[in-house]
C-alpha cells in the first residue's frame, strides 16, 4: 500500500503522509517520498511543494522502529545498508539538488525523524497544538538524519542540546519564538495558510526562487567575502540561467510598465 499521497494543484505539488497511526517511515515509504519530491524537482510545470500528513495528531514519528527491530532495516551504517530513495531519508533530508521551495504544513507532533524531515523544508507552518521532540537518547541512539546537523544551526545551541540530550519537548509557539517555525495557526486553518503561501511563491519567477535555494545552500558556511566571491565565480547554474532569463527581463519590464508580470519559467 502506498502511504504517500501526491496531488497536483496548478503549479503546486502536495505530498501527504498517510500511514496510520504515526506515519512511521520504513524504507519503502522513504522511497515513495523520494519519488514524490523527484517529481517536484524535475517537472518544469511544478514550482513549489507542500508536505503535510493526514489527521491532526502526529505529522510523523520518524523512523519505523518496529521495522528496525524486526530486522527489516539496519542501524549500523544505515545510509549504506539500505536504499532510502532519492534525497535520502524521507526524500528531503539529503536532497541537495532540490532547488524548488518546499513548505512543511505540520498537522501534528514532529518526532525524531519526522522532526528532521520538517527541518529539511524551507518554510514551516505549524498548527497551534504541534510539539517537537527528539526521543532517541533513551533508546540508545541519536537523531543523525538531520537533527544533529541542522538543529544547532536553526536555534540557539544550548536549546538544541536540551532537546538532544534531555529529550524535552518544544511547543510550536516556542519554536516560532526561536525562528524554527515561520508561522503558527489554528489547526483548522493549516492548509489554507500553507496553500496561500504556496500560491504566492508560485506567482514568482521560478528561476529566481530556485536561485535563492541554490545560492543559500552553497554559501551557508562561508565567510562573507568568500560568499560574495562564490556567487561571482562559483558553479551556480540556476543563478547564471536566472540572470539571462526571459522571466528576469519580463519582471523588470512589467515593473516599468506598471503591470503584472507573466512568468513562464525560462
CA distance 147 to 52: 19
DSSP string, 185-230: E-GGGHHHHHHHHHHHHHTS-HHHHHHHHHHHHHHTTS-HHHHHHH
CA distance 119 to 117: 5
Nearby residues of 139 by Cβ (< 8 Å), 6 or more positions away: 65
Query: Which regions of the chain does DSSP assign to beta strands (E)?
Result: 4-9, 12-17, 48-53, 58-60, 102-106, 109-111, 123-127, 131-133, 170-171, 183-185
Query: Catalytic pick from 14, 94, 116, 131?
Result: 116
Please give the backbone phi and psi of residue 16, each rounded to the nearest 5 degrees, phi first: -120, 125
Location of C-alpha cell 541554490: 214
CA distance 141 to 138: 8
136 assigned to active site: yes
116 assigned to active site: yes
> Do the beta carbons of residue 151 and residue 158 sit within 8 Å?
no
CA distance 193 to 124: 11
**What are 243's three cell numbers?**
540572470
Query: Catalytic pick from 14, 94, 131, 136?
Result: 136
CA distance 69 to 71: 5
Residues known to be catalytic: 116, 136
Amino acid at each position: 500500500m502506498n502511504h504517500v499521497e501526491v496531488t497536483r494543484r496548478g503549479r503546486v505539488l502536495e505530498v501527504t503522509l498517510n500511514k496510520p497511526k504515526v506515519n512511521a517511515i520504513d524504507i519503502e515509504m522513504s522511497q515513495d517520498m523520494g519519488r514524490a519530491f523527484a517529481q517536484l524537482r524535475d517537472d518544469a510545470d511544478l514550482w513549489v511543494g507542500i508536505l503535510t500528513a493526514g489527521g491532526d495528531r502526529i505529522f510523523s514519528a520518524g523512523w519505523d522502529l518496529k521495522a528496525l527491530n524486526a530486522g527489516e532495516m539496519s542501524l549500523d551504517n544505515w545510509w549504506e545498508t539500505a536504499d532510502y530513495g532519492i534525497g535520502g531519508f524521507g526524500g528531503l533530508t539529503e536532497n541537495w539538488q532540490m532547488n524548488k521551495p518546499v513548505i512543511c504544513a505540520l498537522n501534528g507532533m514532529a518526532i525524531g525523524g519526522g522532526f528532521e524531515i520538517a527541518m529539511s523544508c524551507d518554510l514551516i507552518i505549524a498548527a497551534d497544538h504541534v510539539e517537537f521532540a527528539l526521543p532517541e537518547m533513551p533508546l540508545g541512539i541519536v537523531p543523525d538524519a538531520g537533527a544533529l546537523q541542522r538543529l544547532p544551526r536553526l536555534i540557539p545551541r544550548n536549546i538544541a542540546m536540551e532537546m538532544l540530550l534531555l529529550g524535552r519537548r518544544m511547543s510550536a509557539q516556542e519554536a516560532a519564538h526561536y525562528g524554527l517555525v515561520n508561522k503558527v495557526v489554528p489547526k483548522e486553518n493549516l492548509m489554507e495558510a500553507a496553500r496561500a503561501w504556496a500560491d504566492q511563491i508560485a506567482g514568482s519567477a521560478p528561476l529566481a526562487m530556485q536561485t535563492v535555494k541554490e545560492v543559500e545552500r552553497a554559501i551557508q558556511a562561508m565567510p562573507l567575502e568568500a560568499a560574495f566571491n562564490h556567487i561571482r565565480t562559483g558553479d551556480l547554474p540556476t543563478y547564471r540561467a536566472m540572470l539571462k532569463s526571459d522571466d528576469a527581463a519580463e519582471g523588470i519590464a512589467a515593473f516599468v510598465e506598471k503591470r503584472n508580470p507573466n512568468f513562464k519559467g525560462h
